[in-house]
Structure 1
Amino acid sequence: MLVSLALLASTSALAAPSGKAPTVPVQTLKDVTRILSSDAYAGRAPTSPEEAKTIAYIVARMKAAGLKPGNKGSWTQDVPMAEVSANPTPLTFTVDGKPPLALAYKTDMVIGTSRLVPNVDIKNSEVVFVGYGITAPELGWNDYAGLDVKGKTVVILINDPDWETKTLDGPFGGRAMTYYGRWTYKYEEAARQGAAAAIIVHDTEPAAYGFGVVVSSWAKPRLGLDAKDNHMSDSAAIGWMTLDGARRVFAQAGQDFDLLRTAAKAKGFAPVPLGSTMSMSMTNGIKRQMSKNVVGILPGKVRPNEYVLYSAHWDHLGRCLPVKGDGICNGAVDNASGTAGLIAMAEMQAKAGPAARSQIFLAVTAEESGLLGSDYYAKNPVYPLGRTVGGVNMDGLNVVGPVRDVKVVGPGLSELDGYVTRWAKAGGRTISLDTDPEKGYYFRSDHFSLAKLGVPMLYAESGEDLVNGGTAAGRAAAEDYTTNRYHKPQDEYRADWNWGGAVQDLTMYYGIGRELADGKAWPNWVATSQYRAIRDKSRAGK
């Protein structure tokens, strides 16, 4: 859920913290970002030839910063992965007495599988519309109520039922997306229900990106974590269809998609069998390979078996669709800059000397493939999650300039809000709410892998109230990056960037991390958070 600024502010102590942070090493930010985003690193794709070069550089910088190897004497943690290259047929929908309807790959739909099998074959699977595909017992909401979907194909809406609400009021947080709205959850729940295939209907506004983004991410070999069971508990096929494709499928079955979409917003909606069947097949190439997380540590001097965590993902998209002849997605802001922030933070904390608790610096792989590196670490932690106090994730630094505010992504979830409020105030900044809550950014970066297993993680970033130009200039800069550089070859290093905003943020992150590392507090989730019970259980087991 999201909360008001007043409630967010109430979680902080009245007094601003004292103490001065070491100077942020701006040259480190420039050097690490420039080098990692150079063409020599070819976009830092996991398992690519350039991964080894990337890992070696990060390790060298961590070592030079004064860190120690963080994984039982090793600088790295192996992350077993499997790449699936799917070659699907069209999705063919059949209704008795009517001509078959075929949805074409890349044009009308994308489809794939997380199962590590050479072939997928689905024949005459009954099609069911399950609304938003949500099962939320705490809200009395079950879009699968009264129907067994084992072996069937479920069609699902993206986002939450109340996403069109203009406020933050509603069973699912109103305008703010909850995890129930994320596509990852939709597939997870469909698998738990036993669906053979799960197809999400794409709609640009509630998805927060166009269908072209979906195609570019899905219509290529896709990385996932390897698994001993070959992910056989997942649905055999998962994918997306266009809004137009969905309307045609429903019309073929004599149903009005838009009417059913409206009905699905109401509590008590019942799944609707369409009276059609879906058939498709795909052949899969499977390539098992290893990637790596990088782990460094500054051992604590008083309670070394308690840990504060800093994270950033080192990977990007590698070679991608060329724009004006440039086919390398360098990922300078996303996330060479965040990796640079991780190294700079290591230098600052090492310069300040050992804290009471140990501090972990984690550079994870394959964030762009679905938070895979952080997910693997969270499920296979080098340091127990029950002894991990909390931490800060850095995914893209501000290279536009100093700002007057701090944007907390996912505010009102944990007691870390009090820390960020205090340290923002110490830096002369105010707190602003997420300007795009419907996009679900809280669930789209590596902190979430740890959060959903109970570890309070802060995800904050510079706001948009630029010292030079105000909110209009800040919003324009953010939109320019999203439109013209995000996940494109144009996300390249520039020598004329203004690092003043990054310095503000890193100074704040340093203060938050140092307060956690030198203190005895164990910040928890708020009482209403779904992660509170998970945290309490892990702390009890430690």
Structure 2
Amino acid sequence: MRRFALLLLATASLGASPALAQTAPALSVDTLKSVDRELSSDAYEGRAPTTPAETKTVAYIVQRFRAAGLKPGNPADRTGGGWTQDVPMVEIKATDVQPFTFTGGKSAVTMAYGTEMVAATYRVAPTISVRNSPVVFVGYGITAPEKGWDDYAGVDVRGKTVVILVNDPDWQTMTRDGPFEGRAMTWYGRWPYKYENAAKHGAAAAIIVHDTEPAAYPWAVVNSSWTGAKYELDEPGGHLDQSQVIGWMQLAKAHELFAAAGQDFDRLQAAAKVKGFKAVPLGLTLSTGFTNAIRKSLSHNVIGVLPGTSTPGDTVLYSAHWDHLGHCAPVNGDGICNGALDNASGVAGLVALAEAHAHAGPAKRSIAFLAVTAEEQGLLGSAYYADHPIYPLARTVGGVNMDVLNAIGRARDFTITGAGKSEIEDMVKPLLAAQSRTISPESNPERGGYYRSDHFSFAKLGVPMLDGGSGQDLVVGGVAAGHAAAEDYVAHRYHKPQDEYDPKWDWSGAVEDLTVYYQLGRKLADTPGLWPNWYATAEFRGVRDRDHPELRAGS
């Protein structure tokens, strides 16, 4: 197999230090091409979990991990030869969804499924029925004691329906200033948090008001994502502690609803942005319901390991999701969403890094390579691993998650998703400087990217993970070319059949990014006693300090 010592080649003209050049990985562009081309071919049918295509996908990744020189990563796995972790899943498809019907106001308000509202449930139950549930507007639906903010203060919503605004209260602040980091969405602004918090307060139904700018995507995305089958982890209890109904309503229908209640939506929305906001009962009731088709099945994470030599109980983690959308709405007769960039490219990077680390030989700590399932269904594979870790999270040093590699050429900059959270970022800066690259801020921090990929499953349980990659300032074409390429991908290929492998792709930018990932992982793996922490202001600091009290003294 042809290999490239990229750092020696690429950084020779970039002024890399001799010390860094000596740690250059052997990263194979052939590997990146062959893995991406194979996994994104029509033969893999878009790699949907729990389908026959999963069996083929998992077998191929195991084959490549074994050939790379890894060892099976899960000793408890008997059926998969030690290479897999079972992920029990349940598919829930709502059928015969009744409209949202609100009564008790100046006039009844009805919302049609798909065009005006969407509804689903986390509950593994054959029928869902909410009848005459009192409706309460709870602003942004946030309970953040560390910020002195509680939208549920003084109101009992048990058995009631809560209407919630999307994003954070300060999302219109164009800087990072504000109680919720301004323009950068926090976990409190993400829709999964809002449903989770509503359930903790006993709400029977939780409905988010869709608004395109703070949501960061149009209603069409909500409609397509919420009107098909939903996957969840098949956990004991069947998620019966969750709200019966979760869903969204169109902004125009929210205005109509509040007017029927004798309220001004715009006025209450403005009030909800101010600390001390009190929830407002609307004097209306909601009725809705649907039946569920339920199918239980097993999916699989794939894991290989390069065992450590002196402290093998400590683990450095690389992750990428192997799944995509499977068969989808046809475009020009093509109905397979191949997911070549999202995320066959990330798996290709995982294999290339495994080869490079194995070629360099074992490090002092163990290095694990995890290809997770069901990211597209809500980070389910990584969430299951984080809750049932093969290598204890308290002894997981940190790592890198890869979700879509750069296939458009070298970039002068690098963007860290959710920057300002962990000391991992400080370790990356000199590696980028050696490539003469700068760090650029996220172009769309309001989209909450940090909370939308698999690293978040580990981060919220205390493990610092880097999620970052090439920025938009391309060596050839500059920012204009990089921005145009990004916009083209989102508009024409993202989650569409057009996300297909292209033999003309330029992998040089991906290899530079992978070089950084390699050097970061090797530094973590070859430095026993090094435990990067979260910054004091990060929401995940408490868990890390609990697992490593020795880190507190240096805080």
Is the CA contact (8 Å cut-off) linking 2:138 and 2:164 kept in structure 1? yes
Deviation at 1:226, TM superposition (A): 0.6
Question: Given the alignment, which residue of 357, 361, 364 partners 1:349?
Answer: 357
3-state SS, counterpart of residue 93 of structure 2 = strand
Q: Tell whether 2:417 aligns with 1:417.
A: no
Look up the match of 1:538.
547
Cα deviations by residue, 1:485-521 (Å, 9 ceiling, x for unpaired) = 1111111110111111101100111000011111121
CA distance in 2, matches of 1:398, 1:431: 16
Deviation at 1:281, TM superposition (A): 1.0
Look up the match of 1:407.
415
Q: Tell whether 2:505 aligns with 1:497.
A: yes
3-state SS, counterpart of residue 385 of structure 2 = helix
| Amino acid in the other structure paired with 1:383 | Y
Look up the match of 2:322.
314
Look up the match of 1:437.
445
Q: Aligned ranges for residues 48-447 of structure 1 at < 5 Å?
A: 48-72=51-75, 74-87=82-95, 88-96=97-105, 98-447=106-455
Cα deviations by residue, 1:41-91 (Å, 9 ceiling, x for unpaired) = 111011111000000000000000000000006100000000001122111
With 115-124 and 243-252 compared, the bigger mean Cα shift is at 243-252
CA distance in 1, matches of 2:215, 2:19: 40
TM-score by length of 2: 0.93
CA distance in 2, matches of 1:218, 1:47: 19
Q: Aligned ranges for residues 15-30 of structure 1 at < 5 Å?
A: 18=20, 19-30=22-33
Question: Given the alignment, which residue of 460, 474, 478 partners 1:470?
Answer: 478
Is the CA contact (8 Å cut-off) linking 1:386 and 1:541 kept in structure 2? no
The runs of at least 4 consecutive aligned structure 1 residues that moved more than 3 Å come to 539-542
CA distance in 1, matches of 2:265, 2:335: 39
CA distance in 2, matches of 1:540, 1:367: 32
Look up the match of 1:526.
535
| Amino acid in the other structure paired with 2:54 | E
CA distance in 1, matches of 2:221, 2:496: 11
Question: Given the alignment, which residue of 34, 41, 45 partners 1:42?
Answer: 45
CA distance in 2, matches of 1:95, 1:426: 66
CA distance in 2, matches of 1:39, 1:281: 38
CA distance in 2, matches of 1:245, 1:325: 35
CA distance in 2, matches of 1:387, 1:306: 5
Query: Unpaired runs of 5+ in structure 2?
Result: 1-16, 76-80
CA distance in 2, matches of 1:414, 1:205: 28
Deviation at 1:23, TM superposition (A): 2.7
Is the CA contact (8 Å cut-off) linking 2:26 and 2:359 kept in structure 1? no
Cα 1:426–1:541 shift into 2, 3 Å? closer
Deviation at 1:99, TM superposition (A): 4.2
Cα deviations by residue, 1:343-365 (Å, 9 ceiling, x for unpaired) = 00000000010101000000000
Is the CA contact (8 Å cut-off) linking 1:81 and 1:288 kept in structure 2? yes
Look up the match of 2:34.
31
Deviation at 1:540, TM superposition (A): 5.5
Cα deviations by residue, 1:134-167 (Å, 9 ceiling, x for unpaired) = 0111111111111000000000011000001111
| Amino acid in the other structure paired with 2:355 | E
3-state SS, counterpart of residue 509 of structure 2 = helix
Cα 1:23–1:448 shift into 2, 3 Å? same
Cα 1:480–1:535 shift into 2, 3 Å? same
3-state SS, counterpart of residue 371 of structure 2 = strand
CA distance in 1, matches of 2:279, 2:177: 25
Deviation at 1:17, TM superposition (A): 5.8
Cα deviations by residue, 1:159-193 (Å, 9 ceiling, x for unpaired) = 00000111110000010000000001000100001
Deviation at 1:536, TM superposition (A): 1.8
CA distance in 1, matches of 2:185, 2:453: 14
Over the residues paired in the alignment, what is the CA RMSD in angstroms? 1.3
Cα deviations by residue, 1:391-447 (Å, 9 ceiling, x for unpaired) = 000000000110111101111111001111111112221111111111100000000
| Amino acid in the other structure paired with 2:535 | V
Deviation at 1:246, TM superposition (A): 1.0
CA distance in 1, matches of 2:202, 2:425: 38
TM-score by length of 1: 0.96
CA distance in 1, matches of 2:386, 2:289: 34
3-state SS, counterpart of residue 548 of structure 2 = helix
CA distance in 2, matches of 1:17, 1:231: 52
Equivalences, count: 527
Is the CA contact (8 Å cut-off) linking 1:17 and 1:423 kept in structure 2? no
Is the CA contact (8 Å cut-off) linking 1:125 and 1:152 kept in structure 2? yes
CA distance in 2, matches of 1:16, 1:179: 41
Q: Tell whether 2:477 aligns with 1:456.
A: no
Is the CA contact (8 Å cut-off) linking 1:386 and 1:540 kept in structure 2? no
CA distance in 1, matches of 2:252, 2:117: 10
Query: Unpaired runs of 5+ in structure 1?
Result: 1-14
CA distance in 2, matches of 1:338, 1:67: 18
3-state SS, counterpart of residue 529 of structure 1 = coil
